[in-house]
Amino acid sequence: MPVISMFYGILISMYYFDNKQHKLPHIHAKFGEFESVFSIESGEVIEGNLPQKKVKLVEAWIEIHSEDLMADWELAISGQRVFPIEPLR
Protein backbone atom coordinates (compact mmCIF):
# COMPACT_ATOMS: atom_id res chain seq x y z
CA MET A 1 0.00 0.00 0.00
CA PRO A 2 1.85 3.10 -1.17
CA VAL A 3 1.62 6.23 0.96
CA ILE A 4 0.93 9.09 -1.44
CA SER A 5 0.89 11.93 1.09
CA MET A 6 1.34 12.69 4.77
CA PHE A 7 0.22 15.79 6.71
CA TYR A 8 -0.71 16.65 10.30
CA GLY A 9 -0.06 13.05 11.35
CA ILE A 10 -2.41 11.63 8.67
CA LEU A 11 -1.11 9.02 6.22
CA ILE A 12 -2.91 8.93 2.87
CA SER A 13 -2.65 5.65 0.96
CA MET A 14 -3.98 4.14 -2.21
CA TYR A 15 -3.97 0.37 -2.63
CA TYR A 16 -3.13 -1.34 -5.91
CA PHE A 17 -6.05 -3.17 -7.58
CA ASP A 18 -8.41 -1.82 -4.88
CA ASN A 19 -11.53 -1.36 -7.02
CA LYS A 20 -13.41 -4.48 -5.91
CA GLN A 21 -14.82 -3.67 -2.44
CA HIS A 22 -15.92 -0.05 -2.83
CA LYS A 23 -16.17 0.01 -6.65
CA LEU A 24 -15.41 3.72 -6.78
CA PRO A 25 -12.25 5.84 -6.66
CA HIS A 26 -11.17 6.18 -3.05
CA ILE A 27 -8.26 6.68 -0.67
CA HIS A 28 -7.42 5.38 2.78
CA ALA A 29 -6.54 7.87 5.52
CA LYS A 30 -4.92 6.70 8.75
CA PHE A 31 -4.26 8.67 11.92
CA GLY A 32 -2.87 6.61 14.80
CA GLU A 33 -5.29 3.74 15.39
CA PHE A 34 -8.05 5.45 13.36
CA GLU A 35 -8.69 4.85 9.68
CA SER A 36 -11.30 5.98 7.16
CA VAL A 37 -11.96 5.45 3.48
CA PHE A 38 -12.85 8.56 1.45
CA SER A 39 -14.45 8.90 -1.97
CA ILE A 40 -12.19 10.86 -4.32
CA GLU A 41 -15.14 12.13 -6.35
CA SER A 42 -17.24 13.50 -3.46
CA GLY A 43 -14.60 13.77 -0.73
CA GLU A 44 -17.00 12.10 1.71
CA VAL A 45 -16.21 9.33 4.19
CA ILE A 46 -17.32 5.92 2.87
CA GLU A 47 -16.46 4.11 6.09
CA GLY A 48 -14.23 4.44 9.10
CA ASN A 49 -13.62 6.22 12.36
CA LEU A 50 -11.19 9.10 11.76
CA PRO A 51 -11.67 11.97 14.26
CA GLN A 52 -13.88 14.73 12.82
CA LYS A 53 -11.10 17.36 12.81
CA LYS A 54 -8.93 15.04 10.73
CA VAL A 55 -11.87 14.23 8.42
CA LYS A 56 -12.17 17.96 7.62
CA LEU A 57 -8.46 18.15 6.78
CA VAL A 58 -8.65 15.14 4.46
CA GLU A 59 -11.80 16.50 2.77
CA ALA A 60 -10.02 19.81 2.08
CA TRP A 61 -6.95 18.01 0.74
CA ILE A 62 -9.09 15.86 -1.57
CA GLU A 63 -10.83 18.94 -2.95
CA ILE A 64 -7.48 20.61 -3.70
CA HIS A 65 -5.92 17.51 -5.29
CA SER A 66 -8.87 15.71 -6.92
CA GLU A 67 -7.31 15.68 -10.41
CA ASP A 68 -4.00 14.27 -9.13
CA LEU A 69 -5.90 11.70 -7.06
CA MET A 70 -7.91 10.53 -10.07
CA ALA A 71 -4.70 10.19 -12.09
CA ASP A 72 -3.14 8.11 -9.30
CA TRP A 73 -6.35 6.04 -9.02
CA GLU A 74 -6.13 5.07 -12.70
CA LEU A 75 -2.52 4.01 -12.19
CA ALA A 76 -3.27 2.08 -9.00
CA ILE A 77 -6.18 0.04 -10.36
CA SER A 78 -4.01 -1.07 -13.26
CA GLY A 79 -1.17 -2.03 -10.88
CA GLN A 80 1.17 0.79 -11.86
CA ARG A 81 3.28 2.94 -9.54
CA VAL A 82 1.40 5.92 -8.09
CA PHE A 83 2.97 9.32 -7.56
CA PRO A 84 3.26 11.31 -4.32
CA ILE A 85 0.89 14.26 -3.94
CA GLU A 86 1.72 17.48 -2.11
CA PRO A 87 0.61 17.52 1.54
CA LEU A 88 -1.84 19.98 3.00
CA ARG A 89 0.03 23.02 4.31
For 11-49, what is each residue's pLDDT tens digit?
Answer: 999 988 876 666 789 999 999 999 999 999 999 999 999
> Is 75 a residue whose pLDDT tops 90?
yes
2: confidence class by pLDDT, cuts 50, 70, 90: confident
83 falls within a domain: no
39 falls within a domain: yes
For residue 46, give its domain range: 3-77
82 falls within a domain: no
86 falls within a domain: no
For 54-74, what is each residue's pLDDT tens digit?
Answer: 999 999 999 999 999 999 999
Number of domains making up the chain: 1
34 falls within a domain: yes
Provide the pLDDT for residue 57: 98
88 falls within a domain: no
Rounded to the nearest 10 degrees, what angle do helices 52-64 and 66-77 cross at?
A: 90
20 falls within a domain: yes
Residue 36: burial class (beta carbons within 10 Å; 0-12, 13-18, 19+): buried
